Amino acid sequence: MISLLANPNQIHPTRFWGVYTKLKIFNMTDYKKVVYLDADTIVVKSIEDLFKCGKFCANLKHSERLNSGVMVVEPSATVFNDMMSKVTTLPSYTGGDQGFLNSYYAGFANAHLFEPNLPEEVRKSRPVPEMERLSTLYNADVGLYMLANKWMVNEDELRVIHYTLGPLKPWDWWTSWLLKPVDVWQNVREQLQESLPGTGGGRNPNDAIIVNFLFLVPFIAIIGCYYRSLPQARHFFASMSRSSLYDQARHLYFKFRSGSASSSAVNSDQQFLSVNPKVPNYLGGASIFACFVAALTSLGVALAIVPRQVMPWTGLLLMYEWTFGLFFILFGGYLHLVYRWAKSTATRISNLDSPDYDSEKGHQRAGSSCDVAAWYYGLGMALLAVAAPSLPFVFGITALFLRLGLMVAGGIILASFMTYASEHLAVRFFLKGLEDRDATRAKNGCFFC
């Protein structure tokens, strides 16, 4: 068991609290050579050549600074004790071990390049180098891949891949959908024998119970919602059979041909308001705000509860399942409140009992179908939410920035549709509440129905 070395720097990133423990490899004098690898590296080809390296070997990053993610060390108690005497005096530009090692090996940038293919007789005939630089093959930064969408060195000769892009670590399920080189890490993870949690097909018994629970809860909620809304479900499917999407598409097409579609689309909100002047002017804006708050809240909660180190597909499915489920509950609850608010408002307005209102009421009943509209808009948002992050994979794009660009473009389309749908749904539910002021609606756990 190796005891931790506290970080001597008063100012340092929180995650660097124990990184100085890495210096203890210099004191492992039971070994002739020690090859150190950070946890966010993956070996893709034999690295036995590294044991031929000098007393201290590392790779240069940022032009002139060594990276401590891959190091070769010849342990020495003298060197270790000297380091311990200087940890409080030598500066560290990172606030961690890497900055300290750059100060300790100040001349490392001028060290000779390690030559693994150097003949053995030549190697033995010269003194062991104090420092040698490792080529990029032994510490290939995924940042290099990200810039050009390919490795800037011979990919067949790569030995070690280093995932150094800040929070985008290979064990987090979402990075596999952003960075193509993470596939290498995941493939190795699946092929390893089951010796540690997360190896052996990527299964982690510590997360298995949580993952199964997270999968089951939304399904149970949906089944419960379905059984509590059977009358509305029958009405919805009956409406679907009477008026299919194809029929509605044909209807919209002929309206467009006749020149009326554009005016009806542009003035749809005004038409809703003209049906009944009691619809508040601020309802649309409030509904858009509520919709986006519900979406962001659902997304944040889903990110927080899905275990980070599950397999990529497991994480993605759980993410969608919980985001859709929570959004359905939150925004559906808001629409239910709008409906109840309109219903209670209608009972307090005496002039709604006039014959004029009765005729308007009949028009509303014929023109609004909250249940069917809610399902159409809900399915539309769900399809766009799935399509937005899927665009890069549909088009086979692997470049990070282009992937992000397509995802952002899909997100803008989704946000536009959510803006349109949330406003129209709120108005429809408000009108439905006015219409049903004297009706007692069946108790329903499904707010969208």
**Is the C-alpha dihedral spanning 52, 57, 62, 64 positive or negative?**
negative
pLDDT of residue 250: 56
pLDDT of residue 266: 37
Which of 97, 100, 101, 88 is closest to 15 using CA atoms? 97
For 188-219, the DSSP string reads HHHHS-SSSTT-STT--HHHHHHHHHHHHHHH
| pLDDT single digits (tens) 281-328 | 889 899 999 999 999 999 999 999 998 888 888 899 999 999 998 998
Average pLDDT over residues 197-213: 73
pLDDT at 229 over 90: no
Distance between CA atoms of 344 and 434, rounded to whole angstroms?
Answer: 8
Q: Going by DSSP bridges, is the β-strand pair 34-37/65-73 parallel, antiparallel, or unpaired?
A: antiparallel
pLDDT of residue 268: 47
For the whole model, what pTM was predicted? 0.72
3-state SS assignment for residue 314? helix
pLDDT at 374 over 60: yes
For the ranges 37-51, 163-177, 228-242, 259-273, the lowest mean pLDDT is seen at 259-273
pLDDT of residue 420: 92
Backbone φ and ψ for 133, nearest 5 degrees, come out as -90, 135
Q: How many CB atoms lie within 10 A of CB 438?
A: 9
Average pLDDT over residues 2-6: 78
Average pLDDT over residues 19-23: 90
pLDDT at 330 over 80: yes
Between residues 269 and 294, the one the model is more confident about: 294
pLDDT at 445 over 50: no
Distance between CA atoms of 346 and 350, rounded to whole angstroms?
Answer: 8
3-state SS assignment for residue 223? helix
Q: How many CB atoms lie within 10 A of CB 400?
A: 20
Please provide the distance, in angstroms rounded to a whole number, between the alpha carbons at the two ends of the chain: 60
Cα distances (angstroms) measured from residue 417 to each of 171, 267, 313, 324, 425: 34, 16, 27, 16, 12
For the ranges 235-249, 356-370, 380-394, the lowest mean pLDDT is seen at 356-370
* Strand blocks (E) in 33-95: 34-37, 41-43, 56-61, 65-73
